[in-house]
Structure 1
Amino acid sequence: MTLALKDIRHGLFRFVLTCFGLGLLMTVVLAMIGIYNGLVADALAAVKAPRADLWVVESGTRGPFAEASSIPADTRDAVARMPGVAEAGAIAYQTVETAHAGEPLRLYVIGYETGHPGGPDRIVAGRGIGASHFELVADRKTGLVPGDTIRLGRTRYSVVGLVEGAMNSGGDPAVYVTLTDALDLQTELAPAAMRVQAARGGQPVKSASVAAILVRTTPNADVDLLTATIREWKHLGALTQADQEKVLLVSVVDKARRQIGLFLGILLTVSAVVIALIIYTMTMEKLKQIATLKLIGAPDRTIIGLIVQQALILGAAGWGIGVGLILLVKDDFPRRVVLEPFNVVVLAGIIVIVCLAASALGVRAAMKVDPATALGS
């Protein structure tokens, strides 16, 4: 190790630059891993937040995320009376484009019945919705804070609380409003559209409906039997929590997930090649010094140790710089970046394997060096 460190100090500036460049490459690799994890986490966020056991949707659909689902709001009462149902709540989803602080803001509006499943899982700042109208709880990613007001449709809402990690599969941050406000927003027509509808002799309002009924079952309830009963006697669709998560991953975000996964695989391959080339080049540049070591009688294990130790130091430094940089900048990405300790450890293992493989190429070249080379000009 002493010999490896002395050689590094001999060309310290160049070695530091190499480590920094490798660290930037590791930052990109970790960012792609985090984006991949974040895509999956965002897709499942809206499904996991209500902690439902069963999703009741429009018959013949796999809504409300993979397909549009529209059912009457009073369906909740019929479902709540079924055996095995502990709680039931109607919920509505819609995407709204508005503006805040002079910038466009795209929001995923979730309407829920207070006191029933579907509301914010955990308030991290402020409070939950306490009024029946014109209050909302927003995700931190919206940039809103308690006390702000924002226009949704033709109505201004007061922000009373904040949550974290609430968004849809597209990465749009969520806001929670009461179901009544959500249905009003859903059925609201612009004045010009109302005049056109009235002139045509129709009702100047759109019909209101909810996207799904969230069900929490009683302990020991037979979820499969309840699902079959809802489908047969209520003429509705029903998906378990596991089914809904599978639909999201297989149907909604599958292509994006596979594309990012493929790009991550390519990036890891490129990183491995770059690390191997760097280590091999460092070895080839020291061939004359290695020949000198052989000439003065240094054992092979000393030369092998020099190459392997420098390769591992280079890999460890690049990995450390990459982890530090991604932790500094990950919160500034437009989409959520989720890095698990497992991901970081696996990447460290991959770097060790690559460094050892690249060292083997360098060692092979070093072992072939003729000691007489050290006497050449």
Structure 2
Amino acid sequence: MNLAYRDVRHNLFRFVLTCLGLSLLMAVVLAMIGIYNGLVADALNIVKAPKADLWVVEAGTQGPFAEASSIPSETRNAIARLHGVAAAGSLTYQTVEAPFRGDTLRLYVIGYEPGYPGGPEVISEGRSIEKSHFEIVADDKSGLKVGDVIRLGRNPFTVVGLVKDTMNSGGDPAVFITLRDAQVLQTQLAPAAQRVQVARDQGVFKTQDNVAAVIAKLEPDADPQAVAQTVRQWKHLSALTQGDQESILLLSVVDRAKRQIGLFLGILLTVSAVVIALIIYTMTMEKLKQIATLKLIGAPDRTIVGLIVQQSVALGAVGWSFGLVLILLVKDYFPRRVVLEPINAAALAGIILVVCIAASGLGVRAALKVDPATAIGG
């Protein structure tokens, strides 16, 4: 006869209600793990999207994601002529807020040259950019659909294609436009500012033919470090390998956010342990007379310990299961991407198992100290 099972059946409603509350806590823990993974995935995704081997940026900077970088657009031609370089493309990055159907969308605008590296690799719906102006490919999380028209700056852009899971480290969905359109968007003046410039005889607007970075794809037998060293010989340029760029993102751009989420996750796990310990202790204290009766009729200590530990593990297992199902159902509605891997769920299950066994210690201690005479002493 399994005493833990019979005790749960006797107090089924309370057990289920307790498991429901615990599952909500587990769902929050899993959500924080998913947000943490999503933060890292988004940060790396934007730098992995061009599938570049080398990033050429302004000297003294760490690339377009960590700080501002501006180099002449003709740098692409110089990089493309280097030994070991298979192809090169220019890129710009900027964050804009654009009105759309009564709302304001915050978008991460990537300007690239069609036909050169840097554009969207896989179009999930629609097509890639074919015209030189006013076409846009957007991430589906932006809410834009193929055929929509959105105004960026002072020009309307037509959405011709959609991509998936292309966001920056801040969670802003990315959109792709041509490099020329992106440069105009960066330097175009508002009407009032334009009139001031005209009054100063500086023209309608001044186009700066600069880009944030030039990316290069190398030949299969080329050494990225050797090519990067060649670029660094030009005093106005710096070069980063793909690995260097990813390290900068993780150690600089998203490091503080990662540590903050990690700290919050640790606090949640600690709270979970305390909650489980209190629940098991309370359930044990309510059964002290029944436990004393078991001792009085000769039940060994291992039976009593098994009753408490099994209930504790059952609470954790049911709470973890319900929490996992809940977060899988709602994760797509989060404003940021939530990435849950099987290894994450398995790791949390192992942690919860250890926590439940450790948390049952209070209940076990109270049960083993109870006097069998309590059973007949009223």
State the TM-score, normalizing by the size of structure 2.
0.96
Equivalent residue, structure 1, for 2:369: 368
Distance in 1, Cα, partners of 2:26 & 2:113: 46
Note the alpha carbon deviations across 1:135-181, whole angstroms, 9 max, x for none: 11111110011111111111111111111111111111110111122
Residue 332 of structure 1 and its aligned partner are, at CA, apart by 1.1
**Which residue identity is paired with 1:249?**
L
Output the CA distance in 1 between the equivalents of 2:227 and 2:176. Answer: 29
Q: Which residue of 2 aligns with 1:215?
A: 216
Matched residue type, 2:276: I
Cα distance in 2, alignment partners of residues 196 and 60 from structure 1? 34
The SS at the match of 2:211 is coil
**Structure 1 partner of 2:285:** 284
CA distance in 1, matches of 2:305, 2:61: 64
Tell me the secondary structure at the aligned position of residue 233 of structure 1.
coil
**Structure 1 CA distance for aligned equivalents of residues 355 and 77 of structure 2:** 60
296-305 or 113-122, larger mean C-alpha shift: 296-305
Counterpart Cα distance in 1 of 2:96 and 2:173: 11
Where do 1:239-250 residues align within 5 Å?
239-250=240-251
Q: What pairs up with 1:240-279 in 2 under 5 angstroms?
A: 240-279=241-280
Q: How many residues align?
A: 377
Amino acid at match of 1:75: T
Tell me the alpha carbon deviations over residues 68-121 of structure 1, each in whole angstroms, 9 at most, x when there is no partner: 111111110111011000110001111111112211111100011112111113
Equivalent residue of 1:355, what SS?
A: helix
Question: What is the match of residue 197 of structure 2?
Answer: 197
Distance 2:360 2:260 in 1: 32
Deviation digits for residues 241-293 of structure 1 (CA, Å, limit 9, x no counterpart)? 11111111222122122111111111111111111111122112111111111
What percent of counterpart residues are identical? 71
Say yes or no: does 1:346 pair with 2:347.
yes
User: Paired residue for 1:149?
Assistant: 149
Aligned partners of 1:187 and 1:208 also within 8 Å: no
Amino acid at match of 1:375: I
Alignment of 1:73-88 (within 5 A): 73-88=73-88
Deviation at 1:201, TM superposition (A): 2.1
SS in 1 for 2:374: helix
Partner residue, 1:333: 334
Q: Deviations over 1:18-50 (max 9, x none)?
A: 000100111111111111111111211210111
Tell me the equivalent position of 2:27. Answer: 27
Taking structure 1 as the reference length, the TM-score comes to 0.97
Cα displacement (A) at 1:353? 0.5
Check whether the contact 2:59–2:235 (CA below 8 A) recurs between aligned residues.
no
Look up the equivalent residue of 1:131 and give its one-letter code: K
Preserved CA contact (<8 Å) 2:308 2:364: yes
Look up the match of 1:320: 321
Aligned-partner SS, 1:177 = strand
Output the amino acid matched with 1:57: V
Alignment gaps of 5+ in structure 1 = none
The residue aligned with 1:60 is 60
Moved over 4 A (4+): none
**Is residue 186–residue 208 contact of structure 1 (8 Å, CA) maintained in 2?**
no
Over the aligned positions, Cα root-mean-square deviation in angstroms equals: 1.4
Give the letter for the 1:194 counterpart: Q
CA distance in 2, matches of 1:111, 1:36: 28
Tell me, what secondary structure is at the counterpart of 2:83? coil
Q: Counterparts of 2:54 and 2:284 in 1: how far apart (Å)?
A: 61
Conserved? CA contact 1:279–1:355, under 8 Å: no
Distance (whole Å) between structure 2 residues aligned to residue 202 and residue 130 of structure 1: 33
Residue in 2 aligned with 1:187?
187
Counterpart code for 2:297: I
Aligned to 1:170: 170
Mapped to 2, the partners of 1:138 and 1:210 lie a distance apart of 21
Matched, 1:117 2:128: no
Deviations 1:209-231 (A, max 9, x none): 11000111101112112111111
Contact kept, 8 Å, 2:89 with 2:214, in 1: the verdict is: yes
Q: Distance in 2 between matches of 1:203 and 1:229?
A: 39
CA–CA distance in structure 2, aligned partners of residues 64 and 358 of structure 1:
48
Specify the code of the residue in structure 1 equivalent to 2:285. M
